[in-house]
């Protein structure tokens, strides 16, 4: 007999505020009132990994070229990343989470879902549990975190951004319907920029707009994902909090100090990346058989493109064809190349890290 799920779940999504930058401000309090970013140097074509909220006020953002960030904010303090320190801090935070829930799904170094439906703490009040976790992170680790509390993962994740930084937001079950109705479609889990633009073009700006669409129309435009959209725009998300999720993608990429001038130069570099990818695939015990292979290119004008095909064991000719097609699309010098595999059932934009706490060979 299948187990019946609890009537009402209590999920906390918790996410540290400007994580790498917070750790840097903790370790050097003189940075607190300055705009701070962590990332690569502009001379070596570095990008911003993250920045504090003072820097965000100048328009600095994650993944922006550092040169661009310094243009927007000339007083920006740009620090090199210290990944070992961030990993140690992450371990401390995840140990605190473990005091409050047995069902924990880590999403990244600074982010996790906790299912506290059966928690004995604070008479089961998820809001009070979240507040206590955040207070302990502040006191014991020295950085701040924000939390969202709701009956499912999708709403909890959106809610954790609501009172960020250093805040929390509860969406009670009776308020969930109105909360979701007002959300722009881009907030839906799995809806990236491209899908959001397509939905907007088709006339849906908010989840309320999308609710007017019959299921058949959603499936017609978005295939299998249409069914998910139908549920999500109504606030329905039954995904369990799971600490044992299958891998969805594996990739390696490199930004080159000097642009790769032509297709031949790209192919030489791509072969090294493919070797690296195969090595990582060998080490990733949770990686099954890939479903698709992809090649990603970023050009000197920062435009980028990804080409993929269905293949579980691509040989050199397949990789070469993918590269060639990507290159043909712009025919410009290339600053970044990436290769990767996708596995079945990948939710868009949901790439998982290889292992949260292992050294990541793709890091600079
Ligand atoms: N990160 C990165 N490159 C990105 C995005 C993030 O290297 N494009 C790193 C740096 C971040 C950390 O991951 O500190 C956590 O990512 P988040 O998306 O949670 O961003 P932050 O914690 O920095 O900021 P926020 O306060 O918005 O959560
Ligand atoms: Mg964060």
Give the phi and the psi of residue 323 in degrees, each rounded to 5: -60, -45
* pLDDT less than 50: residues of the chain: 1, 346-364
Ligand 1 centroid to residue 328 C-alpha, Å: 33
Cβ(50) to ligand 1 under 6 A? yes
Distance from the alpha carbon of residue 62 to the mean position of ligand 1, in angstroms:
7
**Nearest atom, ligand 1, residue 51 CA:** 23
Q: Does the annotation mark 43 as catalytic?
A: no
Residues with CB under 5 A from ligand 2 (ion): 15-16, 19, 110
Residue 332 CA to ligand 1 centre (angstroms): 30
Residue 310: what pLDDT?
Answer: 87
Written as six digits, the tokens of 341 are: 């595999």
For residue 15 and ligand 1, the question of a CB distance below 6 A is answered with yes
Three-state secondary structure call for residue 339: strand
One of 24, 84, 105, 111 is an active-site residue; which one? 111
The answer to whether the CB of 49 is under 6 A from ligand 1 is: yes
Residue 209 tokens read as 């707009």
- Long-range CB contacts for residues 175-181, cutoff 8 Å, separation at least 24: 176/150, 176/151, 176/235, 177/234, 177/235, 179/155, 179/235, 180/155, 180/207, 180/232, 180/233, 180/234, 180/235, 181/206, 181/207, 181/208, 181/211
Q: What is the pLDDT of residue 224?
A: 85
Closest protein CA for atom 28 of ligand 1: 17
pLDDT number for residue 346: 40
Whole-model pTM: value is: 0.75
Cis geometry, peptide bond prior to residue 165 (ω within 30 degrees of 0): yes
- The predicted structure's pLDDT at residue 350: 37
User: Which ligand does the CA of 108 lie closest to?
Assistant: 1
What local confidence, expressed as pLDDT, does residue 362 receive? 36
Query: Do 75 and 92 contact (CB within 8 A), yes or no?
Result: no
The pLDDT score that the predictor gives to residue 193 is 86
Instruction: Supply the pLDDT for residue 61.
Output: 96
């Amino acid at each position: 007999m299948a187990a019946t799920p609890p009537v009402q779940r209590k999920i906390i999504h918790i996410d540290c505020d400007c994580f790498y930058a917070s750790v840097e401000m903790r370790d050097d309090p003189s940075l607190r009132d300055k705009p701070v970013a962590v990332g690569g140097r502009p001379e070596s074509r570095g990008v911003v990994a993250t920045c504090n909220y003072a820097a965000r006020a100048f328009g600095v953002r994650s993944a922006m070229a550092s040169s661009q960030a310094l243009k927007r904010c000339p007083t920006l303090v740009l620090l090199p990343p210290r990944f070992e320190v961030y990993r140690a801090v992450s371990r401390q935070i995840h140990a605190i989470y473990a005091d409050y829930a047995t069902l924990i799904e880590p999403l990244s170094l600074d982010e996790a879902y906790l299912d506290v439906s059966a928690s004995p703490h604070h008479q089961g009040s998820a809001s009070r549990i979240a507040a206590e976790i955040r207070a302990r992170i502040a006191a014991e680790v020295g950085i701040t975190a924000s939390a969202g509390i709701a009956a499912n993962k999708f709403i909890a994740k959106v809610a954790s951004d609501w009172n960020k930084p250093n805040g929390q937001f509860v969406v009670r079950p009776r308020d969930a319907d109105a909360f979701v109705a007002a959300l722009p479609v881009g907030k839906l889990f799995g809806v990236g920029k491209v899908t959001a633009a397509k939905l907007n073009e088709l006339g849906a700006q908010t989840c309320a707009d999308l609710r007017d669409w019959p299921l058949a129309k959603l499936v017609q435009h978005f295939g299998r994902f249409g069914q998910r959209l139908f549920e999500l725009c109504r606030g329905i998300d039954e995904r369990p909090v799971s600490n044992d999720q299958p891998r969805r993608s594996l990739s390696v990429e490199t930004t080159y100090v000097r642009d790769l001038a032509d297709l031949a130069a790209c192919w030489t570099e791509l072969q090294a990346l493919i070797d690296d990818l195969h090595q990582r695939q060998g080490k990733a015990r949770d990686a099954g058989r890939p479903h698709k292979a992809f090649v990603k290119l970023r050009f000197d004008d920062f435009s980028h493109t990804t080409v993929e095909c269905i293949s579980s064991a691509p040989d050199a000719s397949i990789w070469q064809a993918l590269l060639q097609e990507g290159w043909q699309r712009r025919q410009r010098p290339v600053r970044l190349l990436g290769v990767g595999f996708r596995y079945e059932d990948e939710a868009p934009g949901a790439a998982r890290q290889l292992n949260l706490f292992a050294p990541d060979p793709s890091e600079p």
